[in-house]
Amino acid sequence: VEAAPDFKPTHEQYVVTNGTPLYRGPHWTPGETTGRMLERGQRPQILGEANLGLFLLVGEKGQGVGYAPRSLLCPVELCSGKES
């Protein structure tokens, strides 16, 4: 996973509204996925945001495992009904 020069830590919790692959960097590049997927309804660990907030760094046990487009996730307090 690439380091983002404009990374900003966040403690906000998100829920996945549309499934998406995780990307190696905070940008859409064909073939640059990590092989991991987020499924609708998941509440992944979010470590921070990058690329002017357009991507969220998804973590596992505190380590970054890939970036997800912010447009495919929603803050839990706004979209708590999306988990099913």
CA angle 81, 83, 84 (to 5 degrees): 95
pLDDT attached to residue 52: 93
Give percent above pLDDT 90 in the chain.
87
Cα–Cα dist 23/5, whole Å: 16
Q: Could you tell me which residues come within 8 angstroms of residue 4 by beta carbon, excluding any fewer than 6 positions away?
A: 25, 26, 50, 51, 55, 57, 67
Tell me: the pLDDT tens digits for 29-68? 888 999 999 999 999 999 999 999 999 999 999 999 999 9
pLDDT attached to residue 83: 46
| Contact (Cβ atoms closer than 8 angstroms) between residue 69 and residue 50 | no
pLDDT attached to residue 81: 59
pLDDT-derived band at 24, boundaries 50, 70, 90 = very high
